[in-house]
């Protein structure tokens, strides 16, 4: 049977829900597009806040977690800082907290009853902060990682110079991540373009160490399995010396000091 307190709490919930559309428009931003996109999730937040007053259901937390992910994604898409969401959460905590306080006065809540309601409400607010912050940082990190991958991929292009000859001009350090992209691009484009030859130019690679050499050899081996012959160009004196010092066996790999020489060789051999 529903207690008198439960009825009073449902009354507070209904008061908030009746005004949720009005509340969602109270906080204004100069950018109208942002204002319009924020209002739907404001309504959702107010709904969750209102429900938390009269129910102590774990489903509120599940809904809140999903809401946090949606908000975080929206902030990242709109390129808005996390502070925007935290300010919204705090703002509507105060708006609804004021309603709870005034209704508690009007209905002469006991101290224990008021403390119970406010504590439950604050837990929901704290969870809102937690889920938005966690989801935002995850989405932001993923976006940065995707951007970094796109930049790395663009920095390792396969340039098709004839119907059957391609060139990969490597620029900068070749770490494990970029080596993986080199492998993927070389195999993918080499196969798609139906290349017979691929020239890997190392002129702008500042350092050749054991790891870099090993990755290049793996790419060469994988390409040969596809029937694509590989030539290395841009072998400067310091790179040649380093390779010798590392004891690398280049006996079955054709190398040239310049890209021009490599292109001439491949054109004659093709």
11-43 pLDDT tens trace? 888 888 888 888 888 877 777 777 788 888 888
CB 185 within 8 A of CB 154: no
List, edge to edge, every strand of the sheet that includes 197-204. Answer: 159-160, 165-171, 197-204, 229-233, 254-255
Provide CB contacts within 8 A for 38, sequence distance 6+: 29, 74, 84, 88
Round to the nearest angstrom and report the end-to-end CA distance of the chain: 89
**Alpha-carbon distances, residue 10 vs 4, 92, 100, 104, 151 (angstroms):** 10, 19, 11, 12, 54
pLDDT of res. 57: 66
206-243 pLDDT tens trace? 887 778 888 888 899 999 999 999 999 988 888 777 77
147-164 pLDDT tens trace? 666 666 566 888 888 889
- Average pLDDT (179-201) is 90
Out of 52-61, 94-103, 120-129, which region has the weakest mean confidence (pLDDT)? 52-61
In the structure, what pLDDT confidence band is assigned to residue 132 with cuts at 50, 70 and 90? Answer: confident
User: 154 vs 70, which has greater pLDDT?
Assistant: 70
In the structure, what pLDDT confidence band is assigned to residue 201 with cuts at 50, 70 and 90? Answer: very high
CB 223 within 8 A of CB 198: yes
Out of 13-27, 50-64, 110-124, which region has the weakest mean confidence (pLDDT)? 50-64
Provide CB contacts within 8 A for 118, sequence distance 6+: 97, 100
pLDDT of res. 166: 93
pLDDT at 1 over 60: no
In angstroms, the CA 86 to CA 46 distance is 14
Ramachandran quadrant class, 3 (left: phi over 0; alpha: psi -120 to 50; beta: rest): beta
User: 35 vs 192, which has greater pLDDT?
Assistant: 192
What percentage of the chain has pLDDT greater than the value 70?
92
- Phi, psi (degrees; rounded to nearest 5) at 91: -60, -50
Burial of residue 30, with CB atoms counted within 10 A of its CB: 0-12 exposed, 13-18 middle, 19 or more buried: exposed
pLDDT of res. 267: 87
For residues 138, 140, 143, 147, the Cα torsion angle rounded to the nearest 10 degrees is -130
Upper half-sphere CA count for residue 21 (Cβ side, 13 Å): 1
pLDDT at 2 over 70: no
- Average pLDDT (257-265) is 90
CB 222 within 8 A of CB 187: yes
């Amino acid at each position: 049977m529903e207690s008198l307190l439960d009825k009073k709490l449902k009354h507070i919930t209904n008061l908030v829900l009746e005004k949720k559309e009005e509340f969602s428009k109270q906080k204004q931003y100069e950018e109208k597009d942002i204002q319009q996109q924020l209002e739907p999730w404001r309504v959702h937040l107010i709904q969750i806040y209102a429900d938390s007053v009269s129910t102590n259901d774990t489903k509120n937390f599940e809904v809140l977690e999903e809401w946090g992910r949606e908000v975080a994604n929206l902030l990242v898409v709109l390129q808005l800082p996390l502070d925007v969401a935290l300010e919204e959460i705090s703002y509507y905590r105060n708006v609804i907290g004021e309603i709870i306080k005034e209704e508690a006065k009007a209905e002469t809540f006991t101290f224990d009853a008021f403390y119970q309601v406010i504590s439950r409400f604050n837990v929901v607010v704290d969870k809102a902060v937690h889920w938005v912050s966690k989801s935002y940082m995850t989405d932001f990190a993923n976006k940065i990682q995707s951007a970094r991958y796109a930049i790395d991929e663009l920095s390792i292009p396969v340039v098709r110079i004839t119907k059957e000859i391609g060139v990969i001009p490597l620029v900068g350090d070749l770490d494990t991540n970029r080596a993986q992209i080199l492998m993927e691009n070389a195999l993918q484009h080499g196969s798609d373009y139906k290349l017979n030859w691929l020239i890997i130019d190392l002129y702008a690679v500042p350092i050749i160490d054991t790891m870099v050499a090993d990755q290049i050899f793996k790419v060469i081996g994988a390409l040969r399995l596809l029937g694509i012959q590989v030539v290395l160009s841009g072998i400067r004196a310091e790179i040649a010396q380093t390779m010798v010092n590392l004891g690398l066996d280049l006996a079955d790999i054709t190398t040239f000091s310049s890209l021009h020489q490599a292109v001439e060789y491949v054109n004659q051999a093709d």
